[in-house]
Amino acid sequence: MTSDAARPTDIVKVALAAGHAVVATGRDPERAAAAIGAHNDLPFSIHTMVVEPGFFRTDLLTPESTTYAEPSIEDYAQRTTQTVASWTSMNGKQSGDPVKLAGALIKLVSQDEAPVRWVAGADAVQTVGNKGRDLIAQADAYRNLSSSLAHDDD
């Protein structure tokens, strides 16, 4: 089956031919390089890391930096009001030190292989741990039913 849709490599080739610098990523950089060819304007070997930070003592929660919409959906109004009150009350008291965060980020990206996902701050570790336990409990609660959904001929 063929398609007239542009492939990512086509877009890269056209952009390079037009004189643009291109940042290209892919699951297999060697395969992508082979498909596109060598070019002086083509930053491969880019690595990414998802950082899930907790609260760090920055300007994020100051009234000058953050505005909150008025709750407009009644079902969520109470929870939203509680969240805003909680976040407002922790302004200037966040446990995370942004200077230490910066140092940790530099340490991680200086490694040969940085983590794909990094949870930053004790509060974030606790939140992610709780979420992970909740997800596992939900999966376990219906494991037999979920596992019974394959075709019978497999």
pLDDT, tens digit, 9 for 90 and up, residues 44-72: 567 789 999 999 999 999 999 888 988 88
Q: Cβ contacts of residue 43 below 8 Å, gap of 6+?
A: 21, 23, 24
**Reduced to 3 states, what is the DSSP secondary structure of residue 148?**
coil
- Mean pLDDT, range 11-21, rounded to an integer: 85
- pLDDT of 154 reads 62
Give me the amino acid identity at 154. Answer: D
| Residue-wise pLDDT tens digits, 103-137 | 999 999 999 889 999 999 999 999 999 999 999 99
- pLDDT of 1 reads 45
Percentage of residues in the chain with pLDDT exceeding 90? 56
Backbone angles phi, psi at 117, to 5 degrees: -135, 135
Q: What is the CA radius of gyration of the chain?
A: 23
| C-alpha span between 60 and 38 (Å, rounded) | 43
Assess whether pLDDT exceeds 60 at residue 5: no
- pLDDT of 14 reads 87
Q: What is the mean pLDDT of the chain?
A: 88
**Reduced to 3 states, what is the DSSP secondary structure of residue 87?**
helix
| C-alpha span between 117 and 49 (Å, rounded) | 6
Assess whether pLDDT exceeds 80 at residue 27: no
Identify the structural domains of the chain with CATH numbers, from first to last: 1-46 (no CATH), 47-147 (3.40.50.720)
DSSP-derived secondary structure for 11-67 = HHHHHHHTT-------S-HHHHHHHH---TT--------EEEE--BSSSTTSTTT--
Q: How confident is the model at residue 42 (pLDDT cuts 50, 70, 90)?
A: low
